[in-house]
Amino acid sequence: MQATASRSLPEWTGRDDGPGAENVRWHHVVERWEGSTGPGACAFVGFRSDEGVRRNKGRQGAAEGPGALRGALASMALSAPLRAFDAGDVEVVGQDLEEGQRELGGRVTALLDAGQFPVVLGGGHEVAFGSYLGLAGSQRAQRGARIGVLNLDAHFDLRSDEVPSSGTPFRQMAEQERARGAYFDYAVLGISQPSNTAGLFATADSLGVRYLTDDRCGALDRPVVDGFLDDFLATCDLVHLTIDLDVLPAGVAPGVSAPAAFGVPVEIVEHACAKVAASGKLALCDVAELNPRLDVDGRTARTAARLVHRVVAERAPAG
C-alpha cells in the first residue's frame, strides 16, 4: 500500500517514512466515516465536553481531549495495515450535556449496527453515559444480549446528584438498566478508597457492583486482576470498556481533573485492556478525562493513545 496521509482528515497527520505496508502508521489508514457498509477495525468518535466536569466541580479542559488523543495516536506505527474510520466529534454546546449525550448515543448505535467497533475519545467521564446509550440502543442489545460495563477508574462515579455530571454516569446506567428490566452488570478496577466516601461504597454494594481497589492491582497482583476480569467476562455478552485516565499514577497521567496519588501501574491497566479486548466480547471502548491543559510533555495523551492502540490490536471480533 502507499503510505500517504488522508488530505481530508487534517487531524490525522504525522511522521511518514515512505510507502509500503512496512511503514504504515495510524494517520495513513484512518478514513472519514461516510456510512460505509463494510466492517472496520474501529471507528473513532470524539466527545468534546467539559460540562460534566464543570458540574462536578472539577478542573476543566477535557473538551480538548479528543484532538490531543488523535494527535498522539496518529504517528504510532501499526504492525499491519487495517481499516479505521473517524466519525467526527459530538460537541456539547453551552450547558446542554444531556443533548450531547443523546447525540453521542445515536452516533454510537449507528456505528455498532453498521458493524464497526466504536472508540469514543472524551471528554469528561460523562462520556460514558452517552456511550452506554449507544450500546443499549444497538440491535444486539435490543435483542437481549447482556451488557457488562467495566470501568478502569479510581472512582465509582455513582453519585445520586439531581443534576447529572461526570460523577453520575454509572448511577444513570443503573437506573436505565432497571427501567428496561435488566441487571446492572458493573465492575470497577482501580478504586481508590480515600477518593470514595463510605456512602459511595454502600451504594456500590447495594447495586451489586464488583470492584478491585488500587492497592490490590500492583505489579505482583496480576493473578488477582485476571480472576476479577474472568469473573466479570463470564457474566456478559457485550462489554463496554470505559477507561478513566485518573486510574493511572499521577506521574504517568498528570493531565486529568483528579490526578491519582497512588494509582494502578500502567502495565496492569494495559494488561486489563488487552485481556478484555481479546475476549471476543468487547463491543465499545471509551477514554475519559484527558485534559491537555494540565498534561506534562504530552504524557497522558501518549499513554491514552498507547492503551487505545493496544485495545484495537488485541480485539477479537465480538461474537
What pLDDT score does 6 carry? 43
User: Which residue ranges in the chain fall short of pLDDT 50?
Assistant: 1-7
What pLDDT score does 45 carry? 97
The answer to whether 147 and 182 have CB atoms below 8 angstroms apart is yes
Give me the long-range contacts of 10-17 (CB less than 8 A, separation at least 24): 11/67, 11/70, 11/71, 11/74, 11/86, 12/70, 12/74, 12/86, 13/74, 14/74, 14/75, 15/75
What pLDDT score does 11 carry? 84
46: three-class secondary structure by DSSP: strand
The DSSP code for 17 is -
Question: Is 28 assigned a ligand-binding role in the annotation?
Answer: no
What pLDDT score does 316 carry? 77
Q: What is the pTM of this model?
A: 0.95
Strand partners of residue 276: none
- Cα–Cα distances (Å) from 112 to 124, 249, 284, 317, in that order, read 22, 33, 8, 12
Question: Is 125 assigned a ligand-binding role in the annotation?
Answer: yes
Question: Is 157 assigned a ligand-binding role in the annotation?
Answer: yes
What is the strand order of the sheet 147-152 is part of?
Answer: 30-32, 84-91, 42-48, 118-122, 282-288, 238-244, 147-152, 185-191, 210-213
C-alpha cell at 201: 461504597
Question: Is 226 assigned a ligand-binding role in the annotation?
Answer: no
Four-residue CA torsion sign, 241, 244, 250, 253: positive
Question: Is 231 assigned a ligand-binding role in the annotation?
Answer: no
DSSP for 180-214?
A: TT---EEEEEEE-GGGS-HHHHHHHHHTT-EEEEG
Dist CA 2 CA 5 (whole Å): 9
Domain spans of the chain, in order of start: 21-314
What pLDDT score does 131 carry? 98
* 10-47 pLDDT per residue, tens: 789 999 998 888 999 999 999 999 886 677 779 999 99
Amino acid at 2: Q
C-alpha cell at 160: 445520586
Peptide bond preceding 123 in cis form (omega within 30 of 0):
yes
- Kindly provide the b/e burial profile for residues 229-267, where b requires at least 16 CB atoms within 10 angstroms of the residue's own CB: beebbeebbbbbbbbbbbbbbbebbbbbbbbbebbbbbe
CATH topology of domain 21-314: Arginase; Chain A (3.40.800)
